[in-house]
Structure 1
Amino acid sequence: MISELPLSRNIIKDRIIRLNTNVQNQLKRDISNCKYFSISLDETTDVTSHAQLAIIGRYSDGLTMREELIKLVSVPTSTSGSEICKVVIQTFRDISIDISEVVSVTTDGAPNMVGKKVGFVKLFTEAIGHPIVPFHCIIHQEALCAKVRFTDLNDLMSVVTKIVNLIAARPLNNGLLMYNNVRSLSRGKVPERFVKCFEEIRVFFEGKDLGNFPQLNDDKWVNTLMFLTDLSVHINELNLKLQGFDKIIVVMFGYIKAFEITKYFEKASTAVHNEVESLHIKYQHVLGSLLDQFSDRFNQFRSLEQTIKIIKHPDVVVSSSLELNGFQWMQIDDLEIQLAEFQDSIWAQVFVDLRSKLENLERCRLENQEGCQYEQEIWSAWNRLPDTFSTLRNMVMALLTVFPSTYFCETLFSALNNIKTNKRNRLTDEVSSTCLGLKCTKYQPSIEDLANEIQQQKSH
């Protein structure tokens, strides 16, 4: 039977396109049936130096929230805001999806996306005819904040990098004790892994003529290294929490707020008082700059801080504190009345119980247990409410569609690099988008429907 299967390259290509078309039909059906959805956009350059724009949608299919690639499209000319807007509008028009139901747009914050006059967000808002809620990727903003920790410590990192590269570049040096047990280095993990091997590295260089690094025996330099490492570990932990699929805005911004108010900075500030004055000033400057960066960023999230609390705390939130300017087009005139009625009803207990469940799920997450459906629990709780609170529920469902980050886009581009490589650079945009769509979707193609569409005949 296997020998009778048609496996020519054209037939395989046709099958792949049919599979993706089936998935796309499911996606279009679900988006068309939902009340609101949000999009996330990011661009990259493929191996052939062509600009590729990823359009990701987040919406409810009636049972859960979905994040799906709507389409990967090639930007034919420049990547200006106007060109991207034309491409996005045409893409939705081609697949018959109404863009007037878009609630929010999340981008990487580039000028062509958020420019005040000709940025994509401005032009797209004008095109759909109502305000949208724009967001700058929260992971990208956190990374920009984190850069400050290296500003005054570049000399230290330069020495660490030289030592690491010197060890890694020479095969004979791989015998360094403990070094083989450390995972491959990345920029964010370099200080931490260097410190874990510090004593072995110092002993190793004392016995070999591989270069002169007096810093390894300088107490002030070592002290600064430990400070940088400790700071890096905390920032890396925050970055790791922000990564992942299906994250909702209230959870992501909660991580940022928790990091800002953590006692770590108080303890660090107290600890540096015990150091010599020159180090104390340097450390205080780094900590102060980092906190200033966090305070200056995430403005879009801060403006909606009270509003997004309604997702988990509708039973206690004050209606007058809600920022609703970006949602008035959704016909929410009776939101305050429904919120007051909800808070006096038995349904308020649902969210008291929900928060108890979320505490247990967060504990499981911290213990690295799998299957912690944090976001799904929130969505299910809101989906249980009766139609009496339809406006309140619709408002929250719209908030749940918001992309806090462009993480999906970044993972998508990694998959694109594996699909369209130097040895497969002749793949057309259609085939690349099709392969990528099947790689990243959570939909299952309907094999029965596909089989019924094809004539069962052996190739001649």
Structure 2
Amino acid sequence: MSGKFKSLQALVKEKNPQCIWTHCMIHREALAAKELSPGLNIVFTTVVTVINYIKMRPLKSRLFSELCKDMGAEHSVLLFYCETRWLSRGKCLQRVYELRNEIAIFLEEENREEAENFRNDLFIMKLSYLVDIFEKSNILNLQFQGKNTHILQMNDKVNSFCRKLELWNANVKQKNLEMFKHVDECVKTYKAEEQHIRVLFKTIENHLTILVKNFKKIL
């Protein structure tokens, strides 16, 4: 990692102007997975707003924790989203999804307008998709880390992930969501309107297309 050395890039280019500087594969993977379509970005922005509202106020945080305990939830706290930590997005979304019912009740008691989102089947289905896709992205990112890894192995893993994305997109077009366990469970559990189901599938198709394009750029 060269970030801790001030002006290292300029010093290297003084000796060799032809030197090419680029992000490491781990960073490039995180940037490729970061882009969201407008429909999914609204969901993610709302989630971050809710997390900050609860976590940044000690009283609200304690009240929410007590609510979770009273309802027998597996967890009693939310996780902050940190943009500089590559695995943070998937982890905080997972926790929000697991506590979605508790969050809905808490926001209703607080008279927050975001409560409507957590009672909206389309919003929850989009959230469940984000949980699934960032879980897969985090798995790929972790495979890049550790000892004895090199660029050829990483390149093969990105190639493989691109093929998976294309296969998943083909499956979604056939109305098959088995590879995304949370969203598949949501679609089967929620009695969603047919229009919402169509919007969901189109949203997933568009996002997978964006991911394929972005990941092919880092090869």
TM-score relative to the length of structure 1:
0.35
- Name which of 281, 286, 296 aligns with 2:217: 296
**Residue in 2 aligned with 1:165?**
52
**Residue in 1 aligned with 2:118?**
216
Alignment CA distance shift 1:197-1:269 (3 Å): farther
Q: Residue 133 of structure 2 aligns to a residue in which SS? A: helix
Over residues 228-270 of structure 1, what are the superposed CA-to-partner deviations in whole Å (9 max), with x where a residue is unaligned? 2211111111111112233123332232122122254444443
Partners of 2:199 and 2:47 in 1: CA distance: 21
Does residue 42 of the first structure (1) align with residue 5 of the second (2)? no
Partners of 1:281 and 1:245 in 2: CA distance: 40
Does residue 229 of the first structure (1) align with residue 150 of the second (2)? no
**Could you say which structure has the higher helix fraction?**
2
Alignment CA distance shift 1:278-1:151 (3 Å): closer
Partners of 1:119 and 1:143 in 2: CA distance: 28
CA contact 1:145–1:293 (8 Å) conserved in 2? yes
**Residue in 1 aligned with 2:140?**
238
Please identify, of 240-249 and 284-293, the stretch whose mean Cα deviation from structure 2 is larger.
240-249
Deviation, structure 1 residue 181: 6.0
Deviation, structure 1 residue 160: 0.6
Alignment CA distance shift 1:210-1:167 (3 Å): farther
**Residue in 1 aligned with 2:181?**
none
Partners of 1:179 and 1:150 in 2: CA distance: 30
CA contact 2:29–2:141 (8 Å) conserved in 1? yes
Alignment CA distance shift 1:137-1:165 (3 Å): same
Partners of 1:268 and 1:181 in 2: CA distance: 33
Pairing 1:46-65 to 2, within 5 Å after superposition: 52-53=5-6
Partners of 1:193 and 1:159 in 2: CA distance: 14
Q: Residue 145 of structure 1 aligns to a residue in which SS? A: helix
Partners of 2:172 and 2:142 in 1: CA distance: 22
- Counterpart of 1:209, as a letter, is E
Over residues 11-39 of structure 1, what are the superposed CA-to-partner deviations in whole Å (9 max), with x where a residue is unaligned? xxxxxxxxxxxxxxxxxxxxxxxxxxxxx
Over residues 266-308 of structure 1, what are the superposed CA-to-partner deviations in whole Å (9 max), with x where a residue is unaligned? 444433798633333322111111111122321xxxxxxxxxx
Partners of 2:119 and 2:134 in 1: CA distance: 22
- Counterpart of 1:286, as a letter, is H
Partners of 2:9 and 2:153 in 1: CA distance: 32
Partners of 2:173 and 2:67 in 1: CA distance: 35
Which structure has the greater CA radius of gyration? 1
TM-score relative to the length of structure 2:
0.69
Partners of 1:211 and 1:119 in 2: CA distance: 56
Partners of 1:245 and 1:182 in 2: CA distance: 32
**Residue in 2 aligned with 1:457?**
none
**Residue in 2 aligned with 1:277?**
198
Partners of 1:216 and 1:193 in 2: CA distance: 14
CA contact 1:272–1:280 (8 Å) conserved in 2? no
Partners of 1:85 and 1:258 in 2: CA distance: 34
Partners of 1:255 and 1:202 in 2: CA distance: 39
Partners of 1:286 and 1:233 in 2: CA distance: 15
CA contact 2:117–2:123 (8 Å) conserved in 1? yes
- Name which of 165, 169, 180 aligns with 2:76: 180
Deviation, structure 1 residue 165: 1.2
- Counterpart of 1:250, as a letter, is L
Alignment CA distance shift 1:272-1:278 (3 Å): farther
Unaligned runs of 5+ in 1: 1-40, 45-51, 54-74, 90-117, 123-133, 299-460
CA contact 2:37–2:206 (8 Å) conserved in 1? no
- Name which of 224, 248, 252 aligns with 2:150: 248
Partners of 1:233 and 1:192 in 2: CA distance: 8
Aligned residues: 184
**Could you say which structure has the higher strand fraction?**
1
Partners of 2:3 and 2:79 in 1: CA distance: 30
**Residue in 2 aligned with 1:257?**
159
